[in-house]
Amino acid sequence: MLKLIRIECLKTFSKWRTYIGFIALGVLLPLIMLGLKWSGIENFYEWAVRYLKINFIFVGTLFNGYSVSNFIMNSLWVHVPFLISLVAGDVVAGEGAAGTFRIYLTRPVTRAQVMGAKFAGTAIYTFSLIVFMGVVSVGLGLILFGGGDLLVVEKGILIIPAREVLWRFILAYGLAFWVMGVVASVAFLLSTLVNNSIGPIIGTMAILSVFLMISNIPIELFRTIRPYLFTTYFDVWQRAFSDPIPWGEMGRSVLYLGIYILGCFGVSMVIFHRKDILT
């Protein structure tokens, strides 16, 4: 099984589309930070605290590498699922389009092992992209702006001491990986249905868009539906910056997201097991 996973990782990371997400984040994150460093730091700081200045007096600045990283994490998180689905939607469909399954499945391995290895490879790619985003965001932020306390404004004002910020970011990105794991699982599931990766990519983004609208539009009819949508728990990573951290609520969100991941993988296994390989 480990050999199969290694083969799937080699196939995944040998395709140019795998690196689109890394290149996009590797270019965009430094551009944002350098833009703030050289020209927009004062304007950004004024915009960030404009409402707080009505009731509070600030001495010094709360703008540092951690606050920039937190801002970027909140701003880009709706775009990362597309980068995940680019690869996850091609894992199975790409093999079908290339016509390699008929040879691949003649090897002495089961279809369940093949799907397990492909799913593990997808998870490794997702983890790699999230780690890359976290290292570049936090690391470059600390280099350019330095460290310090983190100001969090959400239903109140919270200042997280500098000694706690780093491990909270690690927790937040760990939860973010779990969230993006659901996106990867949905794209993986759709990838087993077709032999063209365009469909799973578009389908994943369409499902995500519809679910996000239902989760956020304040309509009474949607209130009973929201607990069953994975997008309802997409903001679980933000709980890492709460005080105290709501471990119970966080655990329930992780559990619900885990059910989606296992459910999508289980359905993918059933579909692929019954699938006629004609190409």
Mean pLDDT, residues 31-49: 69
Provide the domain limits for residue 230.
2-274
- Residue 56 in domain: yes
Distance in angstroms (rounded) separating the CA atoms of residues 4 and 10: 10
How do residues 207-246 score in pLDDT, each as one tens digit? 999 998 888 887 877 888 888 899 989 889 989 998 888 9
- Residue 106 in domain: yes
Q: What is the dihedral of CA 249, 251, 257, 260, to 10 degrees?
A: -120
| Percent of the chain predicted with pLDDT > 70 | 85
Say how many residues make up the chain: 279
- Residue 49 in domain: yes
Q: Please give the distance of CA 80 from its chain centroid, rounded to a whole number.
A: 6
- Residue 279 in domain: no
- Residue 12 in domain: yes
User: Which residues contact residue 180 at a Cβ distance below 8 angstroms, ignoring those fewer than 6 apart?
Assistant: 80, 81, 84, 126, 129, 130
- Residue 37 in domain: yes
The whole-number pLDDT of residue 91 equals 87
**DSSP single-letter state for residue 155:** S
Asked if the model's pLDDT at residue 64 lies above 90, the reply is no
Strand partners, 158: 152
How do residues 98-155 score in pLDDT, each as one tens digit? 667 666 666 677 878 888 999 999 999 999 999 999 999 999 989 988 888 887 876 6
Which of 183, 157, 148, 119 is CA-nearest to residue 60? 148
CB-CB contact of 83 with 21 (8 Å) = yes
The whole-number pLDDT of residue 5 equals 86
Distance in angstroms (rounded) separating the CA atoms of residues 51 and 55: 8
Q: What is the DSSP string of 91-108?
A: TTHHHHHHT-HHHHTTSS
Asked if the model's pLDDT at residue 51 lies above 70, the reply is no
117: left (phi over 0), alpha (psi -120 to 50) or beta: alpha
- Residue 116 in domain: yes
The count of structural domains within the chain is 1
> What residue type is 134 in one-letter code?
G
Q: pTM of this prediction?
A: 0.88
Top-confidence residue, 7 or 41: 7
The whole-number pLDDT of residue 27 equals 93
Q: How many angstroms separate the Cα of 262 from the Cα of each of 95, 210, 269? A: 22, 21, 10
